[in-house]
Structure 1
Amino acid sequence: MKISKYILGSFLAITASASFTSCSDSFLDEEYKSGYQSPYLETEQGVFDLATSLYANLRFWFAYDWAHATTQIGVDEFSIGTDNSNETWNIYDSRLGPSVVTQNGNTAAAETIWDQMYYGISSANKVIANADIITDTDKHNMVLGEGYFLRGYNYYRLCAQYGSVVLITEPTEGVVRSFTRSSEEECLKQAISDLQQAYNLLPEKSIETYRGKLGWDKYAAAHFLAKALMLRVSERNDSWNAAYKAEDLTNIITLCDDVIGSHHQLAGDYRDLWNWTGTDCATETLSEWLLVAQFNKDAAADGRFGNRIYSNFNPQFSNGVFGNWIQRGQWIGVDFQRCRPTEYNYMCFDKINDSRFWKSFRTIFNANRNLGTSESYSKPDNTPDNDKDNEKYVVSNAGDPVIMFIPNGVKGNNIYYSDDWDQYNFGLVGSSTFQYNGKDVPNAILQYTKDGKWNTYLDRSTKTSEWKTYPDNVFCGLCKVEDGTRDDEKNDYSSRDGVLARVGETYLLKAEALVRQGKYQEAIKVVNILRARAAYKAGEDRTLHTDGNQAFENNIQYDQYKEQYKAYSKTNTYILSTGVSDFSHATDLQIASYTQLPEEDELILSKLNGVKGYNCSGDYERMLNFIMNERTRELDGEWVRWEDLARTKLLIPRAYAFNQEVAKSGTLDEHHLLRPIPQSFIDGLVNDDGSPLSQEQKDALQNPGY
Structure 2
Amino acid sequence: MKKIYILGIIMAAFVSCSDFIEEENLSGESADSFYVTPDGFNSLINANYEKLRDIYGDSPFLFEGGTDLISKGRGQGPLGLTEYRDLNSTSDGVADLYNECYAAIQLANRAIYYAELTEQTAELPVLVSEVKFLRALSYFLLVQTYGGVAITDYIDSPVLEFDRNTAEEVYIQIISDLEDAIAGASDGAYFGRVNKRAAKNLLAKVYLTRGYEPFGSQNDFTTAAALADEVIGGEALNLPFSEVFRPGNDLNEEVIFSVQFDAASISADPDGLGSRQYAYFGSYLGGSEVQGQAPARDYSSSPTDFAISLFTEDDARWEGTFMTEIFYIDTDDYTGPSYFTYYRVPEEEHNSLTVIEFYEPQWFTPEDKANYLATKNLAPSFKYHNYGEYSSEWTDTVSLDYEVICVKKFDDPSPTTAFGGRSSTRDIILSRLAETYLVAAEAYLQAGQASTGLLRLNAVRNRAGVADATIGEFDIDYILDERARELFGEYHRWFDLKRTGKLVERTSLYNNQVNESDFNGAGALKILRPIPQQALDLNQNNDFPQNPAYN
Shift in CA distance, 48/510, structure 1 to aligned 2, threshold 3 Å: same
Which residue of the other structure, out of 13, 28, 33, is the alignment partner of 2:10? 28
Mapping 1:445-594, distance limit 5 Å: 445-448=385-388, 469-471=397-399, 474-485=403-414, 486-491=416-421, 493-535=423-465, 588-591=466-469, 593-594=470-471
Q: What residue number does 1:404 align with?
A: 358
Q: Is the 8 A contact 1:675 1:703 kept in 2?
A: no
- Pair 1:313 & 2:313 matched: no
**Relative contact order (C-alpha < 8 Å, sep 6+): which is higher?**
2
Aligned residues of 2:84 and 2:526 also touching (Cα < 8 A)? yes
Q: Distance in 1 between matches of 2:211 and 2:12?
A: 32
Structure 1 residues 445-499: Cα deviation after superposition (integer angstroms, max 9, x where no partner) = 11159xxx99999xxxxxxxxxx95448622221111111244331561111111
- 1:45 pairs with 2:36: no
Question: Aligned-pair distance for 1:132?
Answer: 3.9
Partner of 2:237: 266
Measure, in 1, the Cα distance between the counterparts of 2:7 and 2:281: 29
Q: Supply the AA of the counterpart residue of 1:146.
A: E
**Which of 325, 335, 339 does residue 364 from structure 1 map onto?**
325
User: 1:265–1:197: structure 2 CA closer, same or farther, 3 Å change rule?
Assistant: farther
Q: Is the 8 A contact 1:28 1:681 kept in 2?
A: no
Partner of 1:647: 499
Give yes or no for contact 1:364–1:401 (8 Å, CA) kept in 2: yes
Inter-partner Cα distance in structure 2 for 1:313 and 1:369 = 27
Match of 1:558 in 2: none
Q: Distance in 1 between matches of 2:164 and 2:117?
A: 32
- Superposed CA RMSD in Å reads 3.2
For residues 414-470 of structure 1, the C-alpha deviation after alignment (integer angstroms, 9 at most, x for no partner) is 32689xxxxx9x9xxxxxxx5553645631011159xxx99999xxxxxxxxxx954
Structure 1 residue 683 corresponds to structure 2 residue 534: no
Deviates more, 1:194-203 or 1:302-311: 302-311
Match of 2:221 in 1: 249
Which residue is equivalent to 1:571? none
Query: Greater CA deviation, 676-685 or 297-306?
Result: 297-306
- Aligned partner of residue 365 in structure 1, secondary structure: strand
Number of residue-to-residue matches in the alignment: 507
Do the aligned partners of residues 438 and 228 (structure 1) sit closer, same or farther apart at CA in structure 2, a change above 3 Å counting? closer
- The 3 A distance-change label for structure 1 pair 623 and 275 is same
Letter in 2 for 1:255: L
Shift in Å, 1:315: 1.9
- Maintained 8 Å contact 1:334/1:489: yes
Give SS of 1:161's match. helix
Query: How far off is 1:509 after superposition?
Result: 0.6
Shift of 1:364: 0.8
CA change 1:193–1:184 in 2 (3 A) is: same
Structure 1 gap ranges (5+) = 1-23, 101-107, 207-211, 320-325, 375-397, 419-423, 427-433, 458-467, 536-587, 598-621, 688-692
AA partner of residue 152 (structure 1): A
CA contact (8 A) 2:285 2:294 kept: no
Distance 2:393 2:262 in 1: 41
Is contact 1:265–1:287 with CA below 8 Å preserved after alignment? no
User: Aligned residue for 2:21?
Assistant: none
Larger Rg: 1
- Paired residues for 1:23-422 under 5 Å: 26-30=8-12, 37-65=31-59, 68-94=60-86, 96-100=87-91, 108-133=92-117, 138-168=122-152, 170-205=153-188, 213-234=191-212, 237-238=213-214, 240-241=215-216, 245-261=217-233, 266-276=237-247, 281=248, 283-298=249-264, 299-300=266-267, 305-318=273-286, 329-350=291-312, 352-368=313-329, 400-409=354-363, 413-415=365-367
Q: Aligned residue for 2:27? A: none
Alpha-carbon distance in 1 for matches of 2:262, 2:369: 48
The Cα shift of 1:673 comes to 1.1
Query: By how many angstroms is 1:334 displaced?
Result: 1.7
For each residue in 1:493-535, what CA deviation from the matched residue of structure 2 results, as whole angstroms up to 9, or x when unmatched? Answer: 1111111111111111110011102222221111111111111
- Tell me if the contact between 1:329 and 1:488 (Cα under 8 Å) persists in the aligned partners: no
**Alpha-carbon distance in structure 2 between the residues aligned to 1:469 and 1:701:** 39
Assess, with a 3 A threshold, how the Cα gap between structure 1 residues 454 and 221 changes in structure 2: closer, same or farther: closer
**1:213 deviation in Å?**
2.1
Aligned residue for 2:431, secondary structure, equals strand
Question: SS of the residue aligned with 2:308?
Answer: helix
1-side partners of 2:512 and 2:178: how far apart?
38
By how many angstroms is 1:224 displaced? Answer: 0.8
Q: CA deviation at 1:260?
A: 0.6
| Distance (Å, rounded) in 1 between the aligned partners of 2:517 and 2:549 | 19
- TM-score of the superposition, structure 2-length normalised? 0.84
